[in-house]
Each structure stands twice: as structure tokens, then as C-alpha cells.
A and B are shown apart, each in its own frame.
Chain A
Amino acid sequence: MVARKFPPRTDSSKAKKVGSEKLKVQKEKIINLPLTKKDVLGLNAGDSVLINGTIVTGRDKMHKFLFYEKPLKKKIPFNLNGVILYHCGPIVGQSDAGYKIVSAGPTTSIRVEAYEHKIISSYGFRGIMGKGGMGERTLEAMKKSGCVYFHAMGGAAAYLADRIKRVVDVWRLEEFGMAEAMWALEVENFPAVVTMDAYGRSLHKEIEKQSFNNLKKLIAK
């Protein structure tokens, strides 16, 4: 099987690349996929972004499969280098015109914490996207490989589905089913916030620490 090449990154007139001068006046950073290591290093925890290009989905079963079965990159019909892996099990409709994403918000990322570090280093992802953030091992792997975590809006599935312009392809649909297959999706201005960066900063860790201090005070009452 030949690895399918995603459409080349297209910089539309409105979209400004990370690092562009115009970013200073913009609220959100525009991201065009695939990402390079340099792009990733230009992102910091707290940045709001709008993602453009092709991303792939993968959740519990796909992570377990990639972790234990270790399929060679060339066996995977997509080129995953620089791509974002989206923790999502979408609802997909099918008609004569092909697949259509009906509803596609993020799923809880921490469930794949045991696998993600290895998947980042083996498959070349530059971004992981989901909800709720991830743990130390993933944060460490992101620092080592140059990868960031995008926190998508949990539950906003209709809103986010409208930012998915096209289903590019799907892998392992028969074996894993609709929710667990790997869907390659072309997104346009897909909103997210960088909450874990390649410098080892995690907003999730910071909020957990603050809330722990608050909890201690409330319990002592």
C-alpha cells in the first residue's frame, strides 16, 4: 500500500502562518498542517489557535493497536508526519456523496496516557488534540519530540463538525467501527487552545495544583 499524501499545505490569503508578523494583532494563531518542529516551538501554552488542513482521529482501540501491534508507517494509508492526532469518535453519516461528519467533539485524552508517549515518537505526530489534558509521560514525550497538546471544546460536537469540511479517507472502519476507526478529516478554522507545549508547560497541571490548594482549604473548614 502506498502512503496517501495529504493535500499540500495551502496558505490562503487570510490564514497567517505561525510566526508571522501579523499575529501580534490577531487574537488566534492560524495553524496550517502539517506542522514542522519549528512551528511547534512557536506555540505556547495558553495560545488560542485555528487549525487548517488534514487531521486524523484515533481513540482507545487505535491507540492500543498502534502501541502493541506497531504497524509500520508504510502500512498506514496516511502520512502521519506533522499531523494532529485527534481523540475523537465521531458520528458519521453516509450517502451517495460519501461520508459526512455529523457530530465530532473531543473525547477524554487521559485514557490513552499509557500509550501516547510511544505513539508520538514512533509516528511523527506534532500535535495531539482532545479534552482534559494528559499526564507526565506524554508531556515529557512532547518535549523530547516536539509536539503540543490542543485542548478542543468538549461536547461542542455540532459546532466542531461544521469546521470539518471533508472526510479524506478512513482506515480500519470494518474492524474498529465508526467511533474507533482512524478518520482523516480536512478541517477549516477548527478552534482549540494549546494547553501543553513542547517546553514542558501544562495548564492542566497548573489548574490541578491550584484546585488542590483550594480543596485543602475547603476540607479543613
Chain B
Amino acid sequence: MLKLRDGIVELYRKVATSLPPDVEDALKSAYASEKKGSNAKKSLEVILENIRLARETSRPICQDTGVPVFYVKTPIGLSQIELEKTIIEATRIATEKVPLRPNAVDIITDKNTGDNTGAGFPIIYFHETPDSTLSIDLMLKGCGCENVGQIYKLPNEELKADRDRDGVRKCILDAVYKAQGRGCPPYTIGGGIGAAKDQVTRLAKEQLMRRLTDINNSDILSKLEKRLLKEINALGIGALGFGGKTTALGVKIGVNHRHPASYFVDISVSCWANRRGRLIW
């Protein structure tokens, strides 16, 4: 698995040092729409210049190279134990070579392991597929934006949010309002709805792997995503919280079936540097 290991190191480098084209395009449109001389426009100018610099000099876009999250689709018969070992080894190498900032801190000793590996670090989700190819998706999830994520249980009296899609809409608007500029907007918002807390949290984060141009399979959810994007941008928080027209670049919602007694809504927030990439093997 040596070659695969090197492939994963390269995936780390690509994801840490460059942004997917859909995200960069959305940031360019945001820049074009802001008023000349405004702090929002200036911020977006610096952001775009930073993206260019990071790509050209192969340096991390943001010093917080985050928590690495892997979504791995494995063909039948490929050992997950071996794959996990390979990913961990690649993480150690990438930390030194890219470089990534060492972010894994032991809860008990409070010591940083120095190589981005530890208990549950990086996060790896496996899923077996009937396909013959191995597909490895990586997200580098910065924690300024991770910290502004929220979870809601519907109904929510304070928001006058009932157990329906309009209730979901209110939760997402409230979460972005609460985030303000703390998690580096323009954000990408992932929403996850379903029966159990752990499940919706994972589902919400997975939505951030969808391209901004991707259209939801459900017309109803697609409409809700579009409406929410418009409404979030009417909040006026703006790029980096300076005020302005673009608080979010996209809203992506995923749903699971719920239990009659539960209605969980989780909101996962990505900063403008929505760093994701895929390796097909």
C-alpha cells in the first residue's frame, strides 16, 4: 500500500493548499457583487489573493489545517484495517511534508501528539460499495467554523419552530445568526435532519462534501436550500463578519427518516475555505 500512502499524502497537500473550483468561483462572484471600497470587498480580495498565493507556493490556505475527515468507499474484499493503517501513516508524513499544523491533543495529558494522529484522529468513515474502485474523500475541517455548529430539537419554542420544514428553516437561520463572523464567512452550511443526534451530526457534515453547484435530489429540499441561501445572505453578516451581501456560498441539506418522537436538526458550518478533495484508486 506504499503507492496508495503516497497518493493520500498528495491528497492532503492538494486539499490543504488549494480550493475546489466551485468554491473559488463562488467567492469570485461574491467579490464582484460587493460595493467598491467596502470592508467586505476588501476581505474577499484578500481571500482570493490568499487562495492564489497558497496554490502557487504550495502552502496551506489556512494555518488551521483542521481535523482531517475521511469518507472512504471501499470495494468488496478490501481490508479496512489495512486502509486505516495506511491513512494514519500518510497523515504522519503529510503533517511533516505539506506541512500541516499538528492539531491532535490528548484529552488526559493535554499534550499535542505532534503528528495529527491520536484516538479518533483523523476521523475515518468507511462504507463498502459494490463498485470496483476505492474512493477516498478528504475534508480538512477547520475548527473556528466547527465551533459555531449547532444542534436543535424540534419543536423549539424560542424560535417558534415547529416539526416541519419551516421549523428547519428557522433553526438554520438562527445558527448562522449565532455564528456571526466568528467562523470565517462566507460559509457553506450543511444541514442534517433525522432520528438520532449522532446520525444527524454526521449527515450534516457530509453535506459539506457536496459541490456548491450540486442540485438536491429532492425538489422540496432543493427549494428550501435556495430559499435559505437567499435568506442567510439577507442577514447582513457578510464576508468575515464585516457586513455585506454574502454570508453564505451554499446551503446543503440531507435527511434521514425520523422517529415519531424525535426531530433533530444539526447544522455543520464550513468557513469560506471549504477544503475537500477526492482520490480515486
Contacts and interface: CB of A to CB of B under 8 A. Distances in A.
Interface stretch (B28-36, B170-178, B201-209): B170-178
A138 to B, nearest CB: 14
A132 B63 contact: no
A102 B60 contact: yes
A132 B180 contact: yes
A219 B180 contact: no
A115 B53 CA distance: 35
Interface in B131-181: 142, 144, 147, 159-160, 170, 173-174, 177, 180-181
Contact of B170 (A89, A103, A132, A219): A219
A180 B99 CA distance: 17
B62 A159 contact: no
Nearest to B112: A177
Contacts, number: 155
Contacts of B242: 151, 193, 203, 207
Instruction: Say what secondary structure dominates the interface of chain A.
Output: mixed
B9 interface: no
Query: Which of the listed residues B57, B65, B240 has the most CB atoms from chain A within 10 Å of its own CB?
Result: B240
Interface stretch (A34-42, A70-78, A139-147, A208-216): A208-216
A108 interface: yes
B234 A104 contact: no
Contact of A154 (B144, B237, B243): B144
B20 interface: no
A151 B46 CA distance: 13
B94 to A, nearest CB: 13
B241 interface: yes
A215 B177 contact: yes
A151 B239 CA distance: 12
Bin chain A's interface residue count: 35 or more
A51 to B, nearest CB: 14
Given A156-B50, A158-B59, A214-B236, A91 B101 contact: yes
B72 interface: no
A168 interface: no
Contacts of B60: 91, 102-103, 157-158
Interface in A15-31: none
Nearest to B166: A221
A91 B63 contact: yes
B70 interface: no
11 contacts: A91-B65, A102-B60, A131-B182, A154-B181, A158-B57, A178-B102, A179-B102, A203-B243, A207-B238, A208-B180, A215-B235
Interface of B: 39, 42-43, 46-47, 49-50, 53-54, 57, 59-65, 99-103, 111-112, 114, 142, 144, 147, 159-160, 170, 173-174, 177, 180-184, 231, 234-238, 240-243, 271-273
What are the nearest 7 A-B pairs in CB distance? A132-B182, A154-B184, A159-B50, A103-B63, A156-B50, A177-B112, A158-B54
Given A133-B180, A211-B177, 9 more contacts: A48-B39, A89-B64, A91-B100, A151-B240, A157-B50, A157-B64, A158-B59, A193-B242, A211-B180
